[in-house]
Amino acid sequence: MIYNKKSKRFSFELFLAKKLNRYQYKSYIIIAITITLIIYNLLYFYEH
């Protein structure tokens, strides 16, 4: 089984979207902000 970060992240997004189905559009915005914050944190830790 080939590990694919992109597909894993995508299924995690789908999972969150299903959990927050009532607030579908807002959930996508929250997911985007969360992923952005995680990426910024990873970059920050790599630099320091």
- pLDDT tens-place string over residues 21-40: 666 677 678 888 999 999 99
Asked whether residue 44 is domain-assigned, the answer is yes
- pLDDT of res. 24: 63
Domain count of the chain? 1
Asked whether residue 16 is domain-assigned, the answer is no
- CB-based contacts of 20: which residues, under 8 Å, 6+ apart? 26, 27, 30
Distance CA 17, CA 31 (A): 8
Asked whether residue 31 is domain-assigned, the answer is yes
Asked whether residue 9 is domain-assigned, the answer is no
Confidence check: pLDDT of 1 > 50: no
Residue bearing the bigger pLDDT, 20 or 33: 33
- pLDDT of res. 34: 92
Contact by Cβ (8 Å): 15, 28: no
Q: Is 15 exposed, middle or buried (0-12, 13-18, 19+ CB in 10 A)?
A: exposed
pLDDT band at residue 2, thresholds of 50, 70 and 90? low
Q: What is the DSSP letter of 36?
A: H
Q: Which domain holds residue 46?
A: 21-48
Model pTM? 0.41
